């Protein structure tokens, strides 16, 4: 029995989190181009409009009010299929999205994969119109911050920031936690947030599967909604309004 109706509708801005787009594949991290178009056609029909990362951050920081039916679209990891399938669709719709990129793909120390796992190169990222796609940071080597000590957290954050600053690409000083992972210890989490603030990182995105509150209660705990390729359209509609499918 589906108890999703028990969930309260979220108040704020839904921040959608995607990963890969690949023909013939719908799994936890991958959605087909056809299903992505179906979801976005629904969003457009319902009057939703995606924010730029700049606009979202100003709203989250309380600098301006959120417009009606606003959302933020994000893609993690910088897969080349985002350039092939997502970028043209964004341009067609006149929309914007945020791509969170892994730092070591910029300095060519990352061993690139093939097929759906292949990442965008520096040159391919350079070709993206920053008015359509804004870039954020997703770790240096996609490190799990939930298991790192304070020195390792600081070193990994520093390597990530340096890779982006050295790249010459336009990017925002915002961070999406790889795997959505953060330290379980309150002391360590506070240390990580202090380190981010000291490095000039202005926001951090987790998962959370809730509509994000604006202004943000904690700008280093911005919640995103995990959109899976296995989601039905009904599930997608529920997640859009409520953030998750299960009330318990």
Q: What is the pLDDT of residue 239?
A: 96
Terminus-to-terminus CA distance in the chain, angstroms?
A: 13
CB-facing half-sphere around the CA of 170: CA atoms within 13 A? 12
Position 5 in a domain: no
Q: What is the pLDDT of residue 7?
A: 55
Number of domains composing the chain: 1
Position 86 in a domain: yes
User: Which CATH number goes with the domain that contains 126?
Assistant: 3.20.20.370
pTM over cut 0.75? yes
Q: What is the pLDDT of residue 186?
A: 96
Position 160 in a domain: yes
Q: Residue 174: which domain range?
A: 12-242
Q: What is the DSSP string of 151-198?
A: HHHHHHHHHHHHHHHHH-----SEEE-GGG---SSHHHHHHHHHHHHH
Q: What is the pLDDT of residue 2?
A: 54
Position 3 in a domain: no
pLDDT per residue, tens digit, the chain (248 aa), is: 454 545 556 689 999 999 999 999 999 999 999 999 999 999 999 999 999 999 999 999 999 999 999 999 999 999 999 999 999 999 999 999 999 999 999 987 887 788 999 999 999 999 999 999 999 999 999 999 999 899 999 999 999 999 999 999 999 999 999 999 999 999 999 999 999 999 999 999 999 999 999 999 999 999 999 999 999 999 999 999 999 887 65
Position 147 in a domain: yes
Position 248 in a domain: no
Position 2 in a domain: no
Q: What is the pLDDT of residue 113?
A: 83
């Amino acid at each position: 029995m589906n108890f999703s109706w028990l969930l309260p509708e979220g108040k704020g801005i839904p921040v959608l989190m995607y990963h890969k787009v690949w023909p013939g594949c719908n799994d936890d991290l991958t959605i087909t181009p056809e299903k992505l178009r179906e979801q976005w056609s629904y969003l457009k029909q319902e009057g939703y409009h995606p924010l730029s990362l700049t606009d979202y951050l100003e709203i989250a920081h309380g600098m301006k009010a959120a417009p009606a039916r606003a959302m933020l679209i994000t893609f993690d990891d910088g897969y080349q299929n985002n350039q092939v399938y997502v970028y043209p669709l964004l341009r067609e719709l006149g929309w914007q999205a945020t791509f969170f990129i892994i730092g070591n793909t910029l300095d060519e120390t990352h061993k690139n994969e093939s097929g759906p796992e292949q990442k965008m190169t520096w040159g391919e990222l350079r070709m993206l119109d920053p008015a359509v796609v804004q870039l954020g940071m997703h770790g240096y080597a996609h490190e799990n911050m939930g298991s790192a000590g304070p020195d390792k957290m600081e070193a990994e954050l520093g390597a990530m920031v340096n890779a982006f600053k050295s790249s010459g690409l336009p990017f925002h000083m915002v961070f999406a936690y790889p795997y959505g992972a953060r330290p379980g210890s309150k002391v360590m989490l506070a240390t990580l947030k202090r380190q981010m603030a000291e490095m000039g990182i202005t926001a951090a995105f987790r998962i959370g599967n809730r509509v994000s509150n604006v202004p943000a209660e904690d700008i280093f705990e911005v919640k995103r909604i995990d959109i899976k390729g296995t989601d039905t359209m009904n599930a997608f509609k529920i997640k859009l309004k409520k953030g998750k499918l299960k009330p318990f």
